[in-house]
Amino acid sequence: MENPATITGIEMISVYADDFAKSFEFYNSLLGLGDWSPMGEVAAYFSLPDEKGMYLLGRRISAPRPKNEIRTTFCFGVDSAFKMMAHLREAGVELFFEEPMQMNEDMYWFEAVDPSGNIIEFLGGK
């Protein structure tokens, strides 16, 4: 079967939150996503580099999250995976590793958990 369209990239990510205020604080203040627009009472759109964006929508119900559960996630690019991990650790964010995992000669990766239990990833230099 021939594919009628070609995927050209990811334009936007959506994050669902049970506690919109806590999640907004996490993404806005802790992660520094400062360029945002309100999208109603419990939603916000964060502008990301390269004309991409992240939609945060509240009033969702969190499901239990066993560490071996399969879920979809997304990955933020950062200048330093080690600095971001230290920043999140200092803020008490749940992390899956003691230090970022080396992916190649210059890139390091790790996973963290947002206030609603969503697993998010970070990829960057040392």
Which of 30, 31, 126, 27 has the alpha carbon at shortest distance from 79? Answer: 126
pLDDT band of 16, cuts 50, 70, 90: very high
Domain coverage including residue 108:
12-62+71-125
pTM here?
0.88
User: Is 84 part of any domain?
Assistant: yes
User: Is 6 part of any domain?
Assistant: no
User: Is 53 part of any domain?
Assistant: yes
Q: Which amino acid is at 116?
A: S
Which string of DSSP letters, residue by residue, matches 113-124?
A: E-TTS-EEEEEE
Over the stretch 17-66, which tens digit does the pLDDT of each residue have?
Answer: 999 999 999 999 999 999 999 999 999 999 998 899 999 999 998 777 66
User: Is 75 part of any domain?
Assistant: yes
User: Is 5 part of any domain?
Assistant: no
Choice between 20 and 3, residue whose per-residue pLDDT is larger: 20
User: Is 104 part of any domain?
Assistant: yes
What is the tally of structural domains in the chain?
1
Which of 63, 58, 73, 66 has the alpha carbon at shortest distance from 26? Answer: 58
CATH number, domain containing residue 18: 3.10.180.10
What whole-number distance in Å separates Cα of residue 112 and Cα of residue 54?
17
